[in-house]
């Protein structure tokens, strides 16, 4: 149907058309729910459902980005008639309009280049390549800043008369605008971060000179000029171009990717440095891209299309040691959801089997990460100190699976071993494992010869039922993504289906136990702990020699506060599979529960080194620092977690918490709000409410706490904090109801974990605020016995004693809390400690710890 002002698409009401191009039409619209202006981009109907689905997939990937110089994607709507996505509406003009008026002042060129390179560097760290950087895809705001458009969704060339989408000889498909495309793109090779750097260089050339770097009315002639000619010099057409800027643009546009800047970040650092110091460095002082020459780079691109790998140049980790190390990426070129799940399942089983070969370290990567980044697999080996890559590429093949497996050695382009298998998933995996076993032994990769029993264990499969394996793989994929409650319920259903299809599938029972434990975390219903214990124990009886089974048991026993049993199974898992980041993470969680912070941090650092591209390890490390009041230490790992998993609301919520406790409220609010945009996380609502409370906005705090309880009504802390807020509003009946509810919820947690000191001290504080000081003192004594070094216990002990009119004891407890990491600024403003504010000892404590 025609679109005109007033047309409505769900909550979006069209205001006016903004433009049209190769991908479709763009309209200004109003989001009636949030009363904000947005831009709607409708896809062309003639592209067909396949093309629309591809574009929408890419839009969903780009929607996770959050950067000041990238136009945000708010929503992706798969309307069967007119699919569209909803973008940030940016006031201003396009960069194409700006440059059409002539060359741009040099300082403005540098500012625009710095902002665009910063945006591209951020996108590249998230695994997204723009593919079509050009002036018409950049908007200039009234304040002079820029916003990059269509990141991750640029697939066509737009209205540019020089644009095309495919050359007849390309097997990959050229996507972009030839005048701004890198030579390797024009040759039909996959776009990379380096090709984006080239395109940005071409944009800077045009801004500086007022003309494109290569001009031709014939597309083929244009492509030949770009692919064979040297990088043009802006100074040829503008005499006042500083030599340093001339060199910067030429370096960005070098024909050989190895001669360009090492990354968009390197280009940004150079340009931003000029903005702050007023000078550009000599290009000889700026590192080029590490790697081989142009021909070898193109060969590596071809390999990466088949193998898929991860490379993040700015966060390298040292080699893990002299033992042979293999990295295991799985590529899903067809972007098929079933294949993606099978890839995760394959990787987990292959890695677990390879762990049976003593001294061998295996680093497993997520199929989604490998697919998104699509880089040189040997670069991944270098990044994690691995000597070899087991690169798996999986495709659907008429109801079956086609798998291309390669064993690559660092420093060699030709595979050490390769095989292609076609059939049902188990047949394919069995053939792969048998071939790998032979190759590893033949080429001396293993530290010692394999016994016959070891060879058998290396190639074994956890089930003979292909359907059961598919359900197991589905469940593992969900668990990899740190699921919320609905996702955990889907994981339970998938694992349960696998165990029903094969009652002797030990790994499926282990996965079911982990999913049960996830549901306990989210519901606090003790039924799930009992189910988890039963399933984990059954998994052990079926398959006692698999590391993942012991990880599951440790996870369950930790949730049930059976710490001796949890540590025993976690250490067994690590001893069976010392290369398993999952085993090390679980051991870290157990050690933390036992109060061994140093041991927990050590295990988490090992987990991160083993799997440096997996955000969960960094998020867990950041969480550990937060709960031990080491907020500054939490910032770096949590930033890394958000970079690696930009769709994980929990990581943004934790990062907001760290900033909150460090007193950086703007950063805290920004991260909390972004977490809520990604997913309604209860903790993000609660933390926002705490900020409102601190600012005296008590009614806003009540609203936010109630939103948190809609997501998770089982949290005793949220009920307690809501009661405090009602108290400040003078709504005593509401406050008493919520304190009682906090006690009820905390008792439910104690029924599962009788050693939960934080639940015990929350009950003590709630009882004190209800005036029941005898009960409060009894609970406080128990909490202090359970957690004598717990900062929350020490703080609430001070609260209970202050409310009971015992200032000496309150001051002593507050001193302990501050020593353990409680913020002096929070203590100074704590309403519950107001009776101490005129006490000289209180004032001295605040001054002492504020200075630290």
Q: CB within 8 A of 87, min separation 6: which ones?
A: 38, 39, 40, 41, 71, 72, 73, 74, 149
Structural element, H or E, at residue 406: strand 400-409
Judge contact between 332 and 351, C-beta under 8 A. Answer: no
The encoded tokens of residue 392 equal: 């798996």
Task: Yes or no: say if 581 and 611 are a contact pair by the CB < 8 Å rule.
Answer: yes
What is the per-residue burial (b if ≥16 Cβ within 10 Å, else e) of 85-100? bbbbbbebebbbebbe
- Residue 75 catalytic? no
CA distance 221 to 225: 6
Residues 6+ apart with CB under 8 A from 809: 801
Q: Whose structure tokens read 């972007």?
A: 335
Rg (CA), the chain: 29
Phi, psi of 175 (to 5 degrees): -125, 115
| Cα 837 from chain centroid (whole Å) | 43
Pairing of strands 330-331, 325-328: unpaired
- Give Cβ neighbours of residue 496 (< 8 Å, ≥ 6 apart): 512
147 has which bridge partners? 139
Separation CA 580–CA 724 (nearest Å): 44
Residue 331 β-bridge partners: 393
**What is the C-alpha end-to-end distance of the chain, expressed in Å?**
65
Instruction: Give phi and psi for 376, each to the nearest 5.
Output: -70, 120
How far is C-alpha 547 from the geometric centre of its chain's CA atoms? Answer: 26
CA distance 592 to 567: 11
CA pair distance 236, 216, nearest whole angstrom: 18
Please, which residues have CB within 8 angstroms of residue 421's CB and are 6 or more apart in sequence? Answer: 402, 403, 405, 427, 428, 431, 432
Q: Cβ-count burial of 778 within 10 angstroms (0-12 exposed, 13-18 middle, 19+ buried)?
A: middle
Nearest to 508 by CA among 539, 541, 466, 478: 539
- Residue 260 CA to chain centroid, in angstroms? 28
Count of residues for the chain? 852
Structure tokens belonging to residue 678? 């990604």
Strand partners, 38: 29, 88
**Structure tokens given for 717:** 């802390």
Q: What is the dihedral of CA 597, 600, 606, 612, to 10 degrees?
A: -90
- Name which of 33, 41, 34 is nearest 3 in CA terms: 41
Single out the catalytic residue among 31, 118, 132, 721. 132
Q: Which helix (H) or strand (E) covers residue 214, if one does?
A: none
Any idea which residues carry the catalytic annotation?
Answer: 132
């Amino acid at each position: 149907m025609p679109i005109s002002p007033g047309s409505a698409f769900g909550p979006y009401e069209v205001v006016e058309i903004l433009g049209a191009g190769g991908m479709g039409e763009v309209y200004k619209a109003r989001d009636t729910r949030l009363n904000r202006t947005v831009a709607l981009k409708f896809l062309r109907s003639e592209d067909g459902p396949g093309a629309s689905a591809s574009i929408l997939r890419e839009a969903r990937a780009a929607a996770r980005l959050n950067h000041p110089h990238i136009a945000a994607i708010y929503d992706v709507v798969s309307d069967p008639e007119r699919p569209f996505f909803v973008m940030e509406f940016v006031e201003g003009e396009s960069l194409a309009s700006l440059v059409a008026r002539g060359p741009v002042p040099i300082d403005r060129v540098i500012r625009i280049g710095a902002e665009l390179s910063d945006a591209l560097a951020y996108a590249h760290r998230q695994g997204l390549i723009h593919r079509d950087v050009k002036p018409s895809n950049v908007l200039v705001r009234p304040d002079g800043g820029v916003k990059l458009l269509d990141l991750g969704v640029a697939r066509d060339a737009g209205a540019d008369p020089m644009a095309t989408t495919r050359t007849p000889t390309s097997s990959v498909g050229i996507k972009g605008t030839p005048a701004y495309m890198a030579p390797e793109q024009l040759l039909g090779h996959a776009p990379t971060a380096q090709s984006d750097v080239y395109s940005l260089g071409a944009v800077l050339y045009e801004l500086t000179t007022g003309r494109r770097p290569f001009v031709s009315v014939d597309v083929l002639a244009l492509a030949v000029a770009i692919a064979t000619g040297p990088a043009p010099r802006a100074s040829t057409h503008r005499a006042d171009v500083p030599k340093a800027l001339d060199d910067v643009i030429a370096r960005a546009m070098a024909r050989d990717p190895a001669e360009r800047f090492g990354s968009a970040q390197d280009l940004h650092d150079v340009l931003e440095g000029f903005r702050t110091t007023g000078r550009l460095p000599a290009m000889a002082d700026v590192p080029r891209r590490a790697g081989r020459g142009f021909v070898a780079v193109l060969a590596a691109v071809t390999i990466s299309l088949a193998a898929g790998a991860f490379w993040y140049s700015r966060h390298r980790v040292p080699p893990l040691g002299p033992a042979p190390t293999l990295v295991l990426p799985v590529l899903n070129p067809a972007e098929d959801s079933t294949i993606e799940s099978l890839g995760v399942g394959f990787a987990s089983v292959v890695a677990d089997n390879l762990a049976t070969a003593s001294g061998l370290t295996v680093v497993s990567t997520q199929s989604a990460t490998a697919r998104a980044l699509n880089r040189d697999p040997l670069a991944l080996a270098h990044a994690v100190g691995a000597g070899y890559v087991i690169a798996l590429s999986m495709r659907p093949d008429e109801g079956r699976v086609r798998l291309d497996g390669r064993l690559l050695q660092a420093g060699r382009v030709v595979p050490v071993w390769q095989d292609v298998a076609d059939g049902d998933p188990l047949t394919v995996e069995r053939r792969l494992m048998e071939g790998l076993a032979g190759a590893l032994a033949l080429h001396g990769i293993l530290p010692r010869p394999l016994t016959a029993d070891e060879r058998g264990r290396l190639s074994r499969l956890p089930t003979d039922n292909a359907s059961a394996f598919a359900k197991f793989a589905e469940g593992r994929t969900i668990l990899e993504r740190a699921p919320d409650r609905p996702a955990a319920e889907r994981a339970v259903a998938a694992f349960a289906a696998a165990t029903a299809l094969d009652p002797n599938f030990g790994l499926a029972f282990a996965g079911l136990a982990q999913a049960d434990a996830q549901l306990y975390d989210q519901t606090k219903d003790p039924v799930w702990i009992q189910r988890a214990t039963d399933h984990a124990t059954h998994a052990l009886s079926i398959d006692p020699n698999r590391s993942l089974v012991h990880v599951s048991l440790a996870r369950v026993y930790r949730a049930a506060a059976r710490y001796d049993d949890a540590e025993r199974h976690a250490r067994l898992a690590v001893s069976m599979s010392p290369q398993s980041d999952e085993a090390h993470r679980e051991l870290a969680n157990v050690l933390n529960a036992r109060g061994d912070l140093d041991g927990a941090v050590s295990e988490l650092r090992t987990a991160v080194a083993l799997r440096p591209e997996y955000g969960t390890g960094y998020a867990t490390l950041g969480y550990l620092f937060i709960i031990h009041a080491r907020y500054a230490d939490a910032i770096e790992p949590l930033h890394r977690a958000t970079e690696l998993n930009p769709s994980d609301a929990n990581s943004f919520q934790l990062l907001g918490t760290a900033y909150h406790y460090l007193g950086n409220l703007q950063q805290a609010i920004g991260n909390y709000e972004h977490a809520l945009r990604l997913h309604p996380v209860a903790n993000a609502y609660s933390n926002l409410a705490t900020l409102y409370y601190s600012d005296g906005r008590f009614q806003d705090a009540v609203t936010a706490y109630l939103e948190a309880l809609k997501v998770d009504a089982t949290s005793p802390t949220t009920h307690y904090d809501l009661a405090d807020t009602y108290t400040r509003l003078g709504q005593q009946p509401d406050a008493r109801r919520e304190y009682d509810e906090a006690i009820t919820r905390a008792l439910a947690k104690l029924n599962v974990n009788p050693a939960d000191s934080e639940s015990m001290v929350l009950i003590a504080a709630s009882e004190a605020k209800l005036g029941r000081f005898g009960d409060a003192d009894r609970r406080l004594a128990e909490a202090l016995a359970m957690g004598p070094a717990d900062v929350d216990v020490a703080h609430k002990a001070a609260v209970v004693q202050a409310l009971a009119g015992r200032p000496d004891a309150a001051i002593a407890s507050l001193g302990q809390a501050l020593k353990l990491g409680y913020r002096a600024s929070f203590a100074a403003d704590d309403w519950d400690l107001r009776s101490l504010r005129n006490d000289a000892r209180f004032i001295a404590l605040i001054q002492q710890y504020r200075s630290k």
